[in-house]
Amino acid sequence: MSVDLSAQIANMKVNNLFLNASGIHCQTEAELDDLMQEPVSGAMVTKSMTPQSRFGNPLPRYYRLANGSINSMGLPNEGFDYYMDYLKTHDQIKPVIVSVAGRSKEEDLAMLHTLQDDDSYQGLTELNLSCPNVIGEPQMAYDFPAANDLLKEVFSFYKKPLGIKLPPYFDLVHFDQIAELLNQYPLSHVNTINSIGNGLWIDVNSETVVLKPKGGFGGVGGSMVLPTALANVRGLRQRLNPSIKIIGTGGVTNGRDAFAHILCGAEMVSIGTQLYEEGLGAFERVTRELTDIMEAKGYELLADFRGKLKVIED
């Protein structure tokens, strides 16, 4: 049986639904080249970019856990012009999602104005409203009035495909509220979830935290966040307009995890911590595992089971 893993978000069509999570192997030209030439994944996303380059938070800022990771990276990136120059000077073998993450409303608007006016870029853009590890700055997506004001201004001029990166939500009323807000706008997609902000890990032997920034507080990722990620994909898919697709992110370590994301309603699936730890070979392995599951279940298309999660009836 032939299995089709193709997917589409706005004008972006891919042969394989997998891509890297922003921040993973996508900061430098060499890393972007690696992703572009990797033969399995369907698309790639850039590092969330700020107008100027940033080193990010002080080291150490990443720590491997038995079932995931904790980090406080602080948006290290090479700057907006660096990534736009990359797109103009390199052959795009696969689709690219440009991720922007200004540290203020004004920075977001300035970068989006530049993208709107740049006729050479017609691809997908993702506005990152969830940066839990920038010291002293809140996450825009938890401030619903501020997020609404920003999106209202953005869509007054931005006419190209645009999605947003969201933090995890934990209360059903917040699913209702954010969906009601987002449904007002012609978003191409939402990407959920970013890491679970402000976790803490302690080395008991030394009695110290494991990260230097923010007194040790950092974003939690990896397999331990899978239940939260699935809940956010499911909760938002039930509430968002069908035209707003979902990129499922969080906790994907194998094909079963990816299958669960799709079952909850994800159009595409990104891999973060596992990709960082295993390397780009994770794409081939997870793709093979997902294909095996689909063949065993008799599914030829992702649409055969996407969003068709069963619930226990009385």
* Token couple for 245: 């697709």
CA–CA gap between residue 243 and residue 152 (Å, rounded): 18
Q: Is 115 helix (H, G, I), strand (E, B) or coil?
A: helix
Helix ranges restricted to H, the chain? 29-37, 80-89, 105-117, 144-154, 172-182, 226-237, 255-264, 273-278, 281-297
| Phi, psi angles (nearest 5°) of residue 60 | -75, 145
Active-site option among 131, 166, 196, 266? 131
Q: List the one residue out of 267, 241, 259, 240 whose CA is nearest residue 7.
A: 267
Cα(246)–Cα(164) distance, integer angstroms? 10
Q: Is 264 a catalytic residue?
A: no
**Residue 130 and residue 166: Cα distance in Å, rounded?**
5
One-letter amino acid at 246 equals I
Specify the residue for token string 């030394």: 206
Question: Cα 288 to the chain's mean position, in Å?
Answer: 22
**HSE (side-chain half, CA atoms, 13 Å) at 256:** 3
Active site residues: 131
